[in-house]
Structure formats: structure tokens, C-alpha cells
Amino acid sequence: MHPRTRELLTYLDDQRAVLRAAFDRVPPAVCARRPSPESWSPAGIVEHLAIVETGLGGRFALLIAEARRKGLGPDPDVTPVVPTLNVKGIVGRVRRIQSAPTLAPTGLHARDAWAALEHAGIGIRDVLAGSDGLALGTISMPHPSLGELSLYQWFAFVAAHEGRHAAQIDEALASFGLSGSSERFPGTPRAT
């Protein structure tokens, strides 16, 4: 497996574990509760992630298929991808980011929201693994807040985005008077 594919799959798995741990700390009685009128409930946060990742997985697959038709070759670069993205800026909750209305949760039950996220996550990982070794750094698309990102950076963004929302779940727990994680930046990648 190409080192960049391995790095990103590991980062995706690590951040999913951070998100799962945060979500598992949410008592069922508050899972659908919004900390404030302008905030999402923990279940809504997970549903938002499922919506985003479902859309991105399909978009990534189309971009890679198009690049393959145009002769996308192997990737000779093995330098790490995650450090090229401002992970702390994504995960850190200092700046509020308004999502498009199409990415807002619709009210799925927590169990269904998590199942949708699991399904979307499998799709993202399948797209990445299915393009193992290809020069995904040569494919790019714009992010509404971060500007132009390579496809490699987009995969890293998906993971960091989960870390950002794990922190949001912990904030919701704190607003309910419950304890969350003590880790300030759960999206910071571990050394590999």
C-alpha cells in the first residue's frame, strides 16, 4: 500500500475513534437535545457528518474516475499529507463555520445517524483504497473555507472534520453539565 494511502486511512480511523468515543459519552436522554437554538444536537452532528461524507465520497469517486480516463498515473511522492493541512485550524472550535442548509441535519434518530455515518465512512475509505498509489495530489477542488485542496488533503479534511465535530459533541456535553473529553485538539494526528 502506498504510504500516503496508509497515512490517510490511519488518520480516518483515528478520528473516527475520537468521534465514536465522544458520541459514546452522550447519554441517550440528551442525544437529540440541542445545547442552544442555533446549535445541533449530538445526533444532529453525526447526521451532518453522514450527509457531508456521503456527498464527498461520490464527488471523490467521480473526480478520480475522470482523472483515470485522462491518464492519471502513479504517485512518486511519499511525503506525509496530513501536515500539509491546518488540522488545528479545522479541529479548533475558535472560529464558527456556517454549513450550507443542504448539509444540516434533518432529525435522524441517533442510531440511524450513526449507521448513516458508518455507511458513508466505508464509502470514503473504499474510494481511497481503490485509488491506492495514484497521484491524487494532482487532483483538486475548492473548499468553501479552506480554498483549493488536493484530493489527498480532502481525505485528510474528512478525518479532521470528524475531530472538529467530536469537540463540538464535548462542548454540547459541557453545556448540559456533563463532562466531555479533556483533550483540547482531538484531531491532531498521531506520529506514524
Query: Where are the chain's structural domains?
Result: 3-175
Of residues 19, 48, 35, 15, the one with CA closest to residue 178: 35
Distance of alpha carbon 55 from alpha carbon 188, whole angstroms: 24
Supply the pLDDT for residue 27: 94
Q: Greatest CA span in the chain, whole angstroms?
A: 55
pTM, two decimal places: 0.90
Tell whether the model's pLDDT for residue 116 goes beyond 60. Answer: yes
Supply the pLDDT for residue 99: 79
55-100 pLDDT tens trace: 999 999 999 999 999 999 999 999 999 999 988 778 776 677 777 8
Percent of the chain with pLDDT over 70: 92
Supply the pLDDT for residue 88: 79
Q: What is 3-175's CATH number?
A: 1.20.120.450
Tell whether the model's pLDDT for residue 181 goes beyond 80. Answer: no
Supply the pLDDT for residue 102: 86
Residues 79 and 175 sit within 8 Å (Cβ to Cβ): no
Of residues 184, 14, 43, 163, the one with CA closest to residue 112: 43
Q: Between 165 and 99, name the one with better pLDDT.
A: 165
Backbone angles phi, psi at 148, to 5 degrees: -70, 125
Q: Quick one: pLDDT band at residue 145, thresholds 50, 70, 90?
A: confident
